[in-house]
Structure 1
Amino acid sequence: MVGVVLILISLIDIYLIVLYPRSGKGWLSTAISKGTWRLFQRIARLGAAIQRSERFGAAILSFCGPTLLILVVSAWTVLLIVGFACVYWTELGMEIQASEGLTPISFSTALYYSGYVFTTLGVGDLVPRSDWVRIVTVIEAGLGFAIFTLTITYLMAIYSALSQRNILALMLHHRTMGKANAAELVARMGAAGDFNDARDDVAKIAESLLTLLESHHAYPVVHYFRFENDLYSLARIVWLAMDTVTLINTALHPDRYRAFIRSTVVAGLANGGQHLLMELSYTFLPQRSFKMAGEDDFILRQRYLQAIERLRQEDIETVPDVEAGVQEYIKMRRRWEPYVMAIAHYMGYRWNQVAPSESKIVRETGWTIAPPLI
């Protein structure tokens, strides 16, 4: 019975993670992922304190994702091998016999037999004598082959999803001239006051966000791939996308650019980004992460005024009532900003790494950003 339970735990987890990929559904792998991330966080904090370097802690966290893959696949394999070994153990010396001499009846012998069968290396010096043991042996060999194949496919899908995420990060990085500033992105979309070609850019970003959402939804382990370079931060990707759509809705002249502001591509970017944040927050972040505080109104006001100035430099008409625009901008930021800050904090990023353009305002004014209360 112990063996059957172990086999079922492994097979159900594989089914939910690989064949029915939906975030947070896996029993075993979800627990391993969260536990391993917490362990890496503690090690990173300790390492950063000893070395007096945040980069050292970030380097430690960057190894969590690949380590998780090894641990999850190893857990599946070990549970199946041990589970079948428990089934074979009681049959050693009776239904399973040595081809020569006496049959050892220790659990290590059952483990040896199960491991050989699972890796499809053959039975060798232990031979099944009854029909039901032969059937179980064939089933285990088939599962071993199938799981090795599924594992390779799973790993390829994960690294493909990571590649897509990194491409989006690089696209946003280069389109903002390396400034990680949504105002720069919007200004270049509508250079000389012309947003006619901007729809394709916004549509591409919106589509990439939905791809990012589905990849994180389908492969939860992708959450825990945290790269050392800030520009690949998931929080920065989402922050840039959401701040871009917020500026489009609050900073552009509502009459001159009505067709663009009310277009389906802008709506898709806004709703897709919000959907991504909600999914990540409720399936990935601990419950305590929802006690959050955003940036101060003063910082957001300065941020908006700087964006207005940058847009005007490109001859883009902005809202006639700047004060009303400021209030609407702050209101929209409050809907999504705390979630981005919580994701950044949980993944070990400081806010100035995610939003360097806003951190510049803090340095210039001496204002203090309130961190998320986690």
Structure 2
Amino acid sequence: MTWLPTLAGAALVLYILRDVFHTLWHPTRHGGLSRLVMTSMWRLSARFGGRWRPAGIAGPLGMALVVAAWAVTVAVGWALVYWPHMPENFSYATGLDPSEHAGPLDALYISLVNLSTLGLGDIAPASGWLRVLAPMEALVGFVLLSATVAWILGIYPALARRRALALRLSHLRRSRATPRALDSDGGAALLDGLASALAVVTVDFMQYAESYYFYDGDEDTSLSEQLGHASGLADEATEARHPDVRLSASVLRTALEDLAAVIDGRFLRTGESPDRVFAAYAADHGRPAGRRPDGRRP
């Protein structure tokens, strides 16, 4: 029955590689394990929101746990492949008794040595196909390291773009721009810029779904807090006399609808209108829904 743990180990390794693929390189999907860990951390932080969410710990800790789960599962999977073939198909350094170093922990030790590319060599595969598997595990370890770096380098710029858009909306809200000032060429350019930034954030939510589970502690940089103002600007500009402003308002409203569709389809699943989706988004992030320019809540 040596084939049973070998198949189980291979299945674990392939499952993690699939999860890494969907998490990092397939923007229309979300890895099963990473999604489970991130959503669990988010819900846990909601229960202890007084301490956890303002500190923004749910997202970073969730990412660390996902990476740890990837590494541990791959190490266990490869250990299951090695274990049934010990000690017959392995060579041991002088002073090691093969019969005393052929258990599950020894197989896990060999797996961790290969995965981390340490290459200690005190216990090494001796048969042909196992000698091929060992460097393959080292390659998987390198893939996991590269994937972790790429994930970090992708998510944090996405968070910066989201918070920059929220801050821009906060500036507009605090400047109290009048409808008359908005009814101009400058107003049209302003609305176009907001629609463009919203499109970028929408793509970020699609490609880096885990960024949703990062809490924005400051009101002015919280997109969930500021989206109501963007909706209000689109409504006000729809009544403008300037044709370019009305066109830009229509584009902004469409950008808001697309963002609401992505947030609702991937995270909230309310099936409600965009304004209600944004209100649910704000509530999920521990915020009241953002005010419109006239001071009302959406």
- Same fold by TM-score greater than 0.5: yes
- Corresponding residue for 1:341? 279
Which whole-Å CA distance do the structure 2 matches of 1:113 and 1:357 have between them? 63
Question: Would the aligned equivalents of 1:9 and 1:28 in 2 still touch at CA under 8 Å?
Answer: no
- Corresponding residue for 1:227? 216
The one-letter code matched in structure 2 to 1:81 is A
Which whole-Å CA distance do the structure 2 matches of 1:343 and 1:88 have between them? 47
Alpha-carbon distance, 1:43 to partner: 2.1
Runs ≥4 in structure 1, deviation > 6 angstroms?
A: none
Of 92-101 and 127-136, deviating more is 92-101
- Corresponding residue for 1:355? 291
Q: Which runs of 5+ in 1 are unaligned?
A: 49-55, 179-183, 293-334, 362-368
Q: Deviations over 1:67-110 (max 9, x none)?
A: 11101111111111111011111122111232223120111111
Alpha-carbon distance, 1:246 to partner: 1.3
Q: Which runs of 5+ in 2 are unaligned?
A: 1-6
| Residues 2 and 174 of structure 1: CA distance in aligned 2, closer, same or farther (over 3 Å) | same
The one-letter code matched in structure 2 to 1:72 is V
Question: Would the aligned equivalents of 1:22 and 1:219 in 2 still touch at CA under 8 Å?
Answer: no
- Corresponding residue for 1:14? 20
SS at match of 1:127: strand
Q: Deviations over 1:190-223 (max 9, x none)?
A: 52x7511222211111111011000011111100
SS at match of 1:93: coil
Q: Deviations over 1:310-353 (max 9, x none)?
A: xxxxxxxxxxxxxxxxxxxxxxxxx42211111111122134xx
**Alignment counterpart, residue 71 of structure 2, candidates 59, 77, 100:** 77
The one-letter code matched in structure 1 to 2:149 is I
The one-letter code matched in structure 2 to 1:32 is V
Question: Would the aligned equivalents of 2:225 and 2:287 in 1 still touch at CA under 8 Å?
Answer: no
Question: Would the aligned equivalents of 1:6 and 1:79 in 2 still touch at CA under 8 Å?
Answer: yes
**Alignment counterpart, residue 277 of structure 1, candidates 260, 263, 272:** 260
Alpha-carbon distance, 1:57 to partner: 5.8
**Alignment counterpart, residue 249 of structure 1, candidates 222, 238, 259:** 238
Which whole-Å CA distance do the structure 1 matches of 2:53 and 2:293 have between them? 21
Which whole-Å CA distance do the structure 2 matches of 1:209 and 1:176 have between them? 17
Question: Would the aligned equivalents of 2:24 and 2:147 in 1 still touch at CA under 8 Å?
Answer: yes
- Corresponding residue for 2:174? 177
Residues paired across the two proteins, number? 289
Which whole-Å CA distance do the structure 2 matches of 1:129 and 1:29 have between them? 36
Alpha-carbon distance, 1:357 to partner: 6.6
Which whole-Å CA distance do the structure 2 matches of 1:26 and 1:239 have between them? 31
Q: Deviations over 1:347-373 (max 9, x none)?
A: 22134xx32877x66xxxxxxx89xxx
**Alignment counterpart, residue 8 of structure 2, candidates 2, 15, 24:** 2
| Residues 65 and 8 of structure 1: CA distance in aligned 2, closer, same or farther (over 3 Å) | same
Question: Would the aligned equivalents of 1:245 and 1:269 in 2 still touch at CA under 8 Å?
Answer: yes
The one-letter code matched in structure 1 to 2:245 is F
Which whole-Å CA distance do the structure 2 matches of 1:155 and 1:239 have between them? 29
Which whole-Å CA distance do the structure 1 matches of 2:123 and 2:282 have between them? 54
| Residues 130 and 58 of structure 1: CA distance in aligned 2, closer, same or farther (over 3 Å) | closer
**Alignment counterpart, residue 211 of structure 1, candidates 200, 211, 221:** 200
Question: Would the aligned equivalents of 1:82 and 1:114 in 2 still touch at CA under 8 Å?
Answer: yes
Q: Deviations over 1:279-331 (max 9, x none)?
A: 1011111x4x45x7xxxxxxxxxxxxxxxxxxxxxxxxxxxxxxxxxxxxxxx
- Corresponding residue for 1:65? 59
| Residues 59 and 138 of structure 1: CA distance in aligned 2, closer, same or farther (over 3 Å) | same
- Corresponding residue for 2:4? none
The one-letter code matched in structure 1 to 2:19 is D
- Corresponding residue for 2:38? 33
SS at match of 1:22: coil
Question: Would the aligned equivalents of 1:202 and 1:269 in 2 still touch at CA under 8 Å?
Answer: yes
Which whole-Å CA distance do the structure 2 matches of 1:109 and 1:57 have between them? 39
Question: Would the aligned equivalents of 1:99 and 1:125 in 2 still touch at CA under 8 Å?
Answer: yes
Which whole-Å CA distance do the structure 2 matches of 1:200 and 1:275 have between them? 20
Of 91-100 and 104-113, deviating more is 91-100
Quote the sequence identity (%). Answer: 25
Alignment of 1:310-329 (within 5 A): none
SS at match of 2:124: strand
Alpha-carbon distance, 1:114 to partner: 0.6
Aligned Cα RMSD in Å?
Answer: 2.2
Alpha-carbon distance, 1:160 to partner: 0.7
Q: Does 1:102 align with 2:106?
A: no
Which whole-Å CA distance do the structure 2 matches of 1:120 and 1:93 have between them? 21
- Corresponding residue for 1:330? none
| Residues 270 and 57 of structure 1: CA distance in aligned 2, closer, same or farther (over 3 Å) | same
**Alignment counterpart, residue 251 of structure 2, candidates 248, 251, 268:** 268
Which whole-Å CA distance do the structure 2 matches of 1:9 and 1:194 have between them? 55
Which whole-Å CA distance do the structure 1 matches of 2:276 and 2:28 have between them? 25
Which whole-Å CA distance do the structure 2 matches of 1:161 and 1:42 have between them? 26
Q: Deviations over 1:143-182 (max 9, x none)?
A: 111221121011111001011111111112123336xxxx
Alpha-carbon distance, 1:245 to partner: 0.7
